[in-house]
Amino acid sequence: MSFRDLKNFTEMMRALGYPRLISMENFVTPNFTLVTEILIWLVRRYEPHVDIPTDVDTESDRIFFIKAVVQFMATKAHIKLNTKHLYQADGYAVKEMLKITSVLYNAMKTKQMALEDAVEEDSNKFKFDLGSRISELKAARQLASEITSRGASLYDLLGKEAELREMRTAAIARPLEINETEKALRAAIKETLEIVEKIKEMLSNVVSDETSLDAKIEKKKQDLERHQKRLQTLQSVRPAFMDEYEKIEEELQKQYEVFVEKFRNLTYLESQLDEYHRLEQDRFEEAENCLRIMQHKLREEERDLMKGSLKDSDSDLDVPEDEGSDSDLEESRPSKPQPSRNAPMAGRGARFIGNMQGDDSEEVSHCHLDFKGAFSSLQKFQSDDSEIDADEDDTLQVLLSKSNRPPRGGVRPALPEESDDDF
């Protein structure tokens, strides 16, 4: 008896539900009482209604009990047991009882597996997988169409049965001619032999093709090995131009860095140039706005001066109707402004520019200075793109003459004193 058999026996008895705990130390020495209990339990587990004597007090009773158990297992379970080993009641008896327990244990496992399969089948009954039945549905649809076509053809053939019956009976009633039969058989045999010859030729061609294909495969294998060796040699050898290639690659990397730097600088300079052009355009627009303001103010001043000159001419033409003395008339006459020697004389059609307010002159002069600076910068940067009109040139000359003229509101030239010598 081995330790493995004893361990398997104890585990199987525990799985079968033996009520007593069996230890591996129980069979070190002969223990006939325990062997008797185990055999009775195993026999009744196999056949619950069996009648076996349980009296083992004397030697003859023990022998009779062992013979009855061995006979029962041989006839019912077809298990052959050794009576001597069972009577020893030690490890050899365990080896004999292991035969019975293994049968019962396998039966229990088979029953459990059957129950599990039944439960699984019951659970699968309620599952319907349409994906697995698609092929079956296609086959059923195809069979249905085939049945319909076969039924239609059968109906047509049955309709021709009346005509075919007469032809069939006539053919059956006709006596067979041996010569024709032999001739048909010879033709069939000849045709069969030709087919066999063709098949043999095809087989021989297959053999030749197989040999040629084997030769080609072998040749291709040799070519593959040769090319692999060539590839290994090429990979191991460094090309002669590799150093030059690496050097050129480094130079290319440097040139690319220089290109990137120059491109970045060029982009920045273009943005700065665009910004500068925008500022110049703003300054030009500001100068044009200032020029329009100055022109408007000059027109207003000319209009005011024309109105003032008309009023002065009207006042000079008016004569008072007083009959007083000449001295009173001269005293009542308003003094006329007379130009000084150094002052320029206004000819016919001359214009007087200015008014009695000093603040306007300062504003106009300031705007004139701003316009002069803007105009000079505009001539410097946009001399080729734009030209100033003749009206703007005249206005600019008027502004320049106005800036050189003394401010309005200053000291007017002194009028000559009137005396009696003028008469």
143-197 tens-digit pLDDT: 999 999 999 999 998 888 888 888 888 878 877 778 888 888 999 999 999 999 9
At 332 the pLDDT is: 42
On whether residue 53 sits in a domain, the answer given is: yes
CA nearest neighbour of 1 among 35, 24, 31, 32:
24
Does the pLDDT of residue 128 top 70, yes or no?
A: no
Residues 375, 366: Cα–Cα separation, whole Å: 14
Distance from chain centroid for Cα 230: 43
Average pLDDT, the chain: 75
Q: pLDDT per residue over 261-314, tens digit each? A: 999 999 999 999 999 999 999 999 999 999 999 999 999 999 999 888 888 776
pTM of the model: 0.30
Least confidently predicted of 133-137, 212-216, 270-274, 326-330: 326-330
On whether residue 68 sits in a domain, the answer given is: yes
Instruction: Work out the angle at residue 42's Cα, subtended by the Cα atoms of residues 41 and 46, and round it to the nearest 5 degrees.
Output: 115
Q: Are 378 and 392 in contact (CB under 8 A)?
A: no
> In 118-162, where do the E strands start and end?
none
CA nearest neighbour of 298 among 306, 288, 287:
306
Residues 125, 20: Cα–Cα separation, whole Å: 42
Residues 176, 188: Cα–Cα separation, whole Å: 18
Structural domains of the chain, count: 1
Q: pLDDT per residue over 316-359, tens digit each? A: 655 444 444 444 434 444 444 444 443 343 333 444 444 444 44
Please tell me what DSSP assigns to residue 421: G
On whether residue 143 sits in a domain, the answer given is: no
On whether residue 131 sits in a domain, the answer given is: no
Structural domain for 91, as ranges: 3-116
Question: What CATH number does the domain containing 75 carry?
Answer: 1.10.418
On whether residue 128 sits in a domain, the answer given is: no
Confidence of residue 258 (pLDDT cuts 50, 70, 90): very high
On whether residue 139 sits in a domain, the answer given is: no
On whether residue 59 sits in a domain, the answer given is: yes
Confidence of residue 254 (pLDDT cuts 50, 70, 90): very high
Which tokens is 113 given? Answer: 């597996």
On whether residue 80 sits in a domain, the answer given is: yes
Please tell me what DSSP assigns to residue 176: P
- The label of the residue with tokens 């076996």 reads 52
For residues 165 and 121, the model is more confident at 165
